[in-house]
Structure formats: C-alpha cells, structure tokens
Amino acid sequence: MGHHAPRAFIFDMDGTIVDNMAFHTKSWVAFFERRGHAIDADDFFRATAGRQGHEIMRSYLGADLTNEDTVLLDAEKEELYRELYAPHLETVAGFEQFIEAAQEQDVRLAVATAAPPANIVFTLDGLDLRRHFDAVVGAADVARGKPNPDVFLLAAERCGAAPEHCIVFEDAPLGVEAARRAGMRAVVLTTTLPAEAFAEFDNVICVARDFSELDIATLFDTTNNIQQAQ
C-alpha cells in the first residue's frame, strides 16, 4: 500500500472513544426491567453491542413494533443512559493525542456508530471532538446496524478512502465482524471485553487496553504485512 492512497481511521464511538458500555448496558437492563424482562448484562452486551436501538427493541419486545413505537422507546432508553453516564463523560486514555498524531500523518478520521443523533451530540460535542473528524456516520445514516458493514463502508466513502486502506477501532465482536465484512482491518480496545472474545477474527491486527499503547506507523505496517502474506 503506497502512502499516496488516502488512509483512514474509523472509530466506533461507544466503548471505543469513550468507556461507557457498562452505562449503556445498565440503562438497557433498567429499561427492560420496567417492562418485566430480566436481562443478564454480559449476555446482553455480547448479543447486542453495535446493533441499533430499533433492532434491539424488536428482538426483545416483538417484531410487530411500529417505527413510531421504537422511536419513542429508544428516546426513553437513551435518556436513561445519558443521565447515568453524564457525570463520567471522558475519552479513553490517549485518544486525543492519538488522533492529533494521526492528523499530522495525513490519516483521515471518521466516527461510525450505532448511536442515534442525540447520543452523538452528547458525546462528540460534549467532549468537543466533532471538529477532528472528516465524517461522522450514525444510526440515522444507515438502515442496518452492525454486524452489517454499511456504517463502516459509508464512513470510508465519506473519507474518500478505500476499505483496504481503513483501520477500524472497535470494542465489540459485532463491530469487528462488521469491519471484516467491509474488508477492513480492526484494532480492538479491551474497554469492555477481554482479548479472548476476539480470538476468532482474522482481521484483528492489534489488541490494546487504550490508545496510549498504539503506534500509527506500526498499525499500517501490520496491515501491509498481512496483505502481502495473503
């Protein structure tokens, strides 16, 4: 891969830019408990992380929910989440230094998330991060959540980078699978699950605790080496 081709980093938001998945899971558990469902938090996360709210609602509350129903229910759940997480809002260690270094090396930056618009505003604007990104793609921009590749492919397109020149940053198996289907390599952040949860994926080039452990040149070299070996 020559450096003449545009390169991009595509970041999942929740659990990757911010370490918030425990708060999302708590809010889902509280939301479903109100409706008589007992949810195991770990099982729930593994089954749903990266899926859109309307997809999760229908899988637990019935496929016959109307779009209007899911919009109202989703708004209720996300309000619960923002109340729980607002006092803890901060980036994963090393993130801001990492993206500054990426920009200095002409790497384009995108966010690709299953989050609805209000949560993107809450996180990216709450932390004054939006200005750093060439593209922000969320639940309102694609019909299907992860593991479908749509959100990553749209982010790459908006960055002007081919999938093979993109590296995705994720914390969930459904997200890594979406990256694989998009033809993209992935870096896993272990904010939410241990490294073993990602052992089956051949597109994972690196597993890290946070962004302070990552080196940009090494990540692209790793991608090169894997592609040359194929």
- Give the residue numbers marked as catalytic: 12
Using DSSP's 3-state secondary structure scheme, residue 104 falls into helix
Instruction: Count CB atoms within 10 A of the CB of residue 38.
Output: 7
Buried/exposed 161-200: b ≥16 CB within 10 Å, e otherwise: bbbebbbbbbbbbbbbbbbbbbebbbbbbebbbeeebbee
What is the bridge-based pairing of β-strands 166-170 and 204-208? unpaired
Q: Which two tokens stand for residue 36?
A: 């008589």
Sheet holding 107-112, edge to edge: 135-137, 107-112, 7-11, 166-170, 185-189, 204-208
Block residue for tokens 């229910």: 73
